Amino acid sequence: MADKEDKVAEEKSVSQWNKGKGGFRASVFIYVLTAFENMGFVANMVSMVLYFFEVMHFDLSTSANTLTNFLGSTYLLSLKGGFISDTYLNRFTTSLLFGSLEVLALVMVTIQAYSSDLHPENCGKSSCVKGGTAVFFYASLCLLALGNGGVRGSLPALGADQFDKNDPIESKALASFFNCLLLSSTLGAVIGVTAIVWVSTKKAWYWGFFISTVATFIGFVVLAIGKPFYRLQAPGDSPITRIAQVIVVAIKNRNLSLPNPEELYEISDKEITEDKIAHTNQIRFLDKAAILRNDSNPQLWKVCTVTQVEEVKILTRMLPILASTIIMNTCLAQLQTFSVQQGNVMNLKLGSIDVPAPSIPVIPLIFMCILIPIYEFFFVPFARKITHHPSGITQLQRIGVGLVLSSISMAVAGLVEVKRRNQVIKDPTKPISLFWLSFQYGIFGIADMFTLVGLLEFFYKEAPAGMKSLSTSLTWLSLSFGYFLSSVFVDVINAITKKITPSKQGWLHGFDFNSNNLNLFYWFLAILSCLNFLNYMYWASRYKYKSEVSDSKPLKTITESSQGSESKTNGSSSAVQIADAKVKEGSL
């Protein structure tokens, strides 16, 4: 009777906690931050390659590699933000903490752009930055990568927390949240690649960075104002520790024979504080972590529950999907580096207006601003009637569409580069229009709309309850690896092609686009993307969603009571200890 009263009291407390909080009213503040922060981030992302080239005096490949290494580090550090928000601080506090670092870094970048004493002399080498200038330059970039990465690791999960996945209505709203998040990001990017880029390239670089700083600061102030409306999830046990426990115990039990699934260890329904995850037959070696030895008590680092083992299995099954999107993000890096440098040597006139080359992505961005609402309000409801899926089509289907389009984008980019170079050879005084680049940008913009949202929703929904931030950070990890791989490809391609080309020059050498072979590099990426899509199809076809496993396979696990009364008596305190660990994780 007392247990029933406690349960009623708990449900009442949860109801009061949710009252007036969460939903789209809370997520509006997150949309505003995303738009304001993305103004500066995207503006810098598309124009910094010119800043490195013109102000810091890097050559073409060094400018591109510096930007891709910076962006790769930014997205890699999102794992840090995800880990901290899952383990030590809640997602709201983590976002504000790293946001303050991001604003500080933008202030430093602005100071360096303003002060001529912090600009290197043009020495004619690949990099002329040295001494105190180099320290200030790289310190500001590192701090900016840390701040922005930490925010990206915690903010999407904070927004998704405002919707209850167990509520049918809010579950559909969760799918819409990620589409709206992309829309707000896109709207901010439109302003960034037009207004801020124009100010940076036509007025002064420091004015562009200053505007980015102010916009980012305003965004985080808005996020802080929305605190009374948020559903804040308490941090729990370290997800890294939970993963390590499964791996360590499985290795300890490697010599044991696997029992029937019914004999694996699980906490009883009365003790567990979150949804159990059904046992699966994939990666059976990890099941050995859930074997409770006859001579031991159910203690941490000695046995893991089936649910804990299945959490690790879920993350393991997601890794091939993550790996299959890296090549696409390597293609994205080319649009933010070499394509911008291409545009800088093309006809920048639009009537009487001189358009900055980094502003060309505004064409696909505007197209996405139109396409995202059409997708959300027309395609998704229509697709739901056919597929009965809350998102219209599955997340893996969305990702697959994006991978195909990215390959097409690189093929088109190669053709446009051939046309540009042929025109220069024919008549250098009449270069082709900058807007020829809109084809590759437009196709990739649609690809990004499908893949980015699909990945965010996929990693959030499939992740275990205590690993939501860390899991959504895997989306940014894919971007990180893509940018780093771009830097590797540029260096490796240059090194190899120096040996095989008649001119003994690499495809991407030097300062002059007209004497290299950028089109061949684009086509190399297009072919690689096609092969990567075949790899993705293999893994996607084998993947089973967590909901499909739960619906199709009943839970077949036992509690410690089946191990005998003596084992239950001796291990009760340990079972409670494990249950307490789960309480700290919380559930959505």
131 inside domain: yes
Same domain (yes/no): 213, 168? yes
Same domain (yes/no): 277, 353? no
Cα 423 from Cα 263, distance rounded (Å)? 72
Query: Across residues 161-174, what is the average pLDDT?
Result: 73
223 CB contacts (<8 Å, ≥6 apart)? Answer: 29, 30, 32, 33, 92, 95, 96, 99
567 inside domain: yes
Q: Which of 11-20, 515-524, 544-553, 571-580 has the lowest mean pLDDT?
A: 571-580
> Is the pLDDT assigned to residue 8 strictly greater than 50?
no
Query: Across residues 417-423, what is the average pLDDT?
Result: 86
10 inside domain: no
- Summarised one tens digit per residue, pLDDT across range 455-504 is 888 888 887 777 777 788 888 888 888 888 887 888 888 788 777 766 66
Same domain (yes/no): 227, 367? yes
Query: Across residues 197-203, what is the average pLDDT?
Result: 87
Q: Which two tokens stand for residue 148?
A: 């922005």
Same domain (yes/no): 260, 182? no
Query: Across residues 425-429, what is the average pLDDT?
Result: 81
Same domain (yes/no): 328, 352? yes
Same domain (yes/no): 93, 104? yes
Cα 504 from Cα 492, distance rounded (Å)? 15
Q: Where residue 217 falls among pLDDT bands split at 50, 70, 90?
A: very high
Q: Between 288 and 237, name the one with better pLDDT.
A: 288
Say if CB 21 and CB 205 are below 8 A apart: no
Query: Across residues 537-551, what is the average pLDDT?
Result: 73
CATH number at residue 509: 1.20.1250.20
Same domain (yes/no): 423, 496? yes
Same domain (yes/no): 170, 146? yes
15 inside domain: no
Quote the mean pLDDT of the chain.
78
- Summarised one tens digit per residue, pLDDT across range 88-123 is 888 899 999 999 999 999 999 999 888 888 787 777
Q: Find the DSSP H helices in 19-130.
A: 23-54, 60-76, 78-87, 91-114
Of 190, 330, 246, 81, give the one whose Cα is nearest residue 578: 246
2 inside domain: no
170 inside domain: yes
Cα 501 from Cα 162, distance rounded (Å)? 57
Which pLDDT belongs to residue 562? 39
Same domain (yes/no): 514, 571? no
Q: Where residue 555 falls among pLDDT bands split at 50, 70, 90?
A: very low
Say if CB 149 and CB 101 are below 8 A apart: no
9 inside domain: no
Number of domains in the chain: 2
> Is the pLDDT assigned to residue 526 strictly greater than 70?
yes
Structural domain including 47 reads 20-235+313-547
Say if CB 490 and CB 64 are below 8 A apart: yes
Same domain (yes/no): 272, 220? no
Same domain (yes/no): 367, 298? no
DSSP 126: S
254 inside domain: yes
Q: Find the DSSP H helices in 351-507.
A: 362-374, 380-387, 395-426, 438-462, 468-500
Same domain (yes/no): 289, 340? no
> Is the pLDDT assigned to residue 174 strictly greater than 80?
no
Which pLDDT belongs to residue 357? 72
> Is the pLDDT assigned to residue 394 strictly greater than 70?
yes
